[in-house]
Structure 1
Amino acid sequence: MQPPLELTKFLFALGFIQSMYDYSMFILQHGDTYTIVVAYADDLLVAGTHLSQIQHLKYKLHAEFTIKDLGPLKYFLDIEVTRDSSGILLNQRNQFLCAPRVPHFLVAQHVLKYVNNTLHHDWGSCMDSSKSLTSYCIFLGTSLISWKTKKQKSCF
């Protein structure tokens, strides 16, 4: 989904660049500091390396568009965000499993096909150990956000 043109122009005027991989993401870099804005419909997610830059951006956004700051991120695009001392946990809770119907089955089937297409099994190709490698990728839209490759235990 393309963000509103007014927001795009506003962020460009502040020096943000639009990600070529996800048009709803804008990045501002000053040296080793970053500020990132993700736009979806009328929601904005603002993150960065320095709180003062985030607060300054929110001030400018409010002056231009009259925004409401909802505080620390708790939900975004049906993803629940929780924080503790070990880090950040992202969790997507779905309620449709309480009374599933055909559309829910079709969505689940689509997700399984997607997961199956992101898994890669490489049977016995590790030249050193002849063990199998299994890998997977996790995408948010078209952006790769995580991946893992694991050498499997041998059956011998």
Structure 2
Amino acid sequence: MTLPLGVQSSQPNMVCKLNKSLYGLKQASRQWFAKLSTFLISLGYKQSHHDHSLFTKIHNSKFTALLIYVDDLILAGNDNNEIISVKNHLDAQFKIKDLGTLKYFLGLEVARNHKGITLCQRKYALDLLFDTGFLHSKPVPTPMVKHINLHDQDSTLFHDPLLYRQLVGRLLYITNTRPDLSFATQQLSQFMTNPTTRHHQALTRVLRYIKNSLGQGLLYPTTSTIQIKGFTDSDRASCPTTRRSISGFCMFFGDSLVSWKSKKHPTVSRSSSEAEYRALTIASCKVPYKEPAILYCDNDSARYIAANVVFHERTKHIEIGCHIAREHLQNKLYHLLPIHTHEQTADILTKALEPSSFYYLLPMLGVYASAG
């Protein structure tokens, strides 16, 4: 450690001691969060182990949640007295400003009506299209063309790989309220190192699709059954380069979509049954097990493997770690039910679909479209 430039000292080897963190220093954000979290814990809040910026408090049947982003806080819950109380404590300690009912937060637009709460990123999408010059582009009905096969060396290298990475990064953020973009973004994010012109063309199609669905987002209805249910699906050997499968799952709390993912498998699956079984394992680990949940799978073999301990020898090559789905099913932590392929909601997370199938599954995914 050395003295800052311009500081004169009569004694050699002297340094400054930081007694109070100042805004703008590297230590400032850490010190601020440490002070704020310590204060919230003293009020009886518990910090989440999954997201350290989330604090919750449960008292009898009352629940309060507090989410932090630097110095912006969101309060939610069914205990109005607790919400008023924690506001008063925060104001006494830090001098806060109450902005009222949540309408906009980090690019997320929140709206309420008699049907429920809607989340979308319309302004974020408009800014993305404006910055890329696609605000007046011709819209397309789907984010990707069916049967498109992107791979590492399918055309010449794109002239500006940094621009490609920046655009994919912005697409990743918009998937917070747009699960319909998850598969396309997952495909494009594989080529961040050396994108080609064909990859960039596929990216521009996603932008044109966003132009076609600016106000699209998620609807969380006011009336819904209290039941955890999920859909899991896989598209075997869909990657032309590695021949790995793409799995997708979506988890619902009643009719509200709360979790989803489109992901390439880390290993090659030898059969469609193995690919579906791996996807089932990933989904089964995402379910909170206070009450039995429901998982839907459209592959008979994968369901048989999960239900039958001594299923035929062709399953012996599947790693032991994958059989956690079977263990959870035997412990009655969830019920595994069949579903027709055309009704498989997670299908939209594993492959590019025709417009008819795509728009048939969108409402089932909890995605709504508003005039935009």
Structure 1 moving runs of 4+ over 6 Å = 114-117
Count of matched residue pairs: 139
Task: Please state whether the residue corresponding to 2:342 is helix, strand or coil.
Answer: coil
The match for 1:8 is: 37
2:42 maps to a residue whose letter is A
Task: Please state whether the residue corresponding to 2:73 is helix, strand or coil.
Answer: strand
| d(CA) in 2 for partners of 1:17, 1:116 | 35
| d(CA) in 2 for partners of 1:23, 1:47 | 17
The match for 1:113 is: 186
The match for 1:20 is: 49
Cα separation, partners in 2 of 1:70 and 1:83, compared to 1, 3 Å: same
Q: CA RMSD in A?
A: 3.5
Which runs of 5 or more residues in structure 2 are unaligned?
A: 1-28, 134-162, 173-181, 191-230, 236-246, 252-256, 261-294, 297-338, 344-372
Q: Identity across aligned pairs (percent)?
A: 33
Cα separation, partners in 2 of 1:115 and 1:82, compared to 1, 3 Å: farther
Cα separation, partners in 2 of 1:65 and 1:107, compared to 1, 3 Å: same
| d(CA) in 2 for partners of 1:90, 1:79 | 7
Cα separation, partners in 2 of 1:108 and 1:16, compared to 1, 3 Å: closer
- Return the structure number with greater relative CO, CA threshold 8 A, min gap 6: 2
Q: Deviations over 1:33-90 (max 9, x none)?
A: 1111100011000111121211111011101110000000011121000000011001
1:98 Cα deviation (Å)? 2.0
| d(CA) in 2 for partners of 1:17, 1:146 | 22
1:151 Cα deviation (Å)? 3.7
Whichever structure has more helix as a proportion of its residues is 2
Which runs of 5 or more residues in structure 1 are unaligned?
A: 124-133, 139-143
Task: Please state whether the residue corresponding to 1:23 is helix, strand or coil.
Answer: coil
1:65 maps to a residue whose letter is F
| d(CA) in 2 for partners of 1:90, 1:75 | 10
1:76 maps to a residue whose letter is F
Of residues 101, 104, 118 in structure 2, which corresponds to 1:72? 101
2:34 maps to a residue whose letter is L
| d(CA) in 2 for partners of 1:79, 1:99 | 18
2:258 maps to a residue whose letter is I
Of residues 259, 277, 283 in structure 2, which corresponds to 1:146? 259
Cα separation, partners in 2 of 1:109 and 1:82, compared to 1, 3 Å: closer
Whichever structure has more strand as a proportion of its residues is 1
| d(CA) in 2 for partners of 1:122, 1:74 | 36
Q: Please identify the structure whose Cα radius of gyration is greater.
A: 2
| d(CA) in 1 for partners of 2:249, 2:92 | 44
1:152 maps to a residue whose letter is T
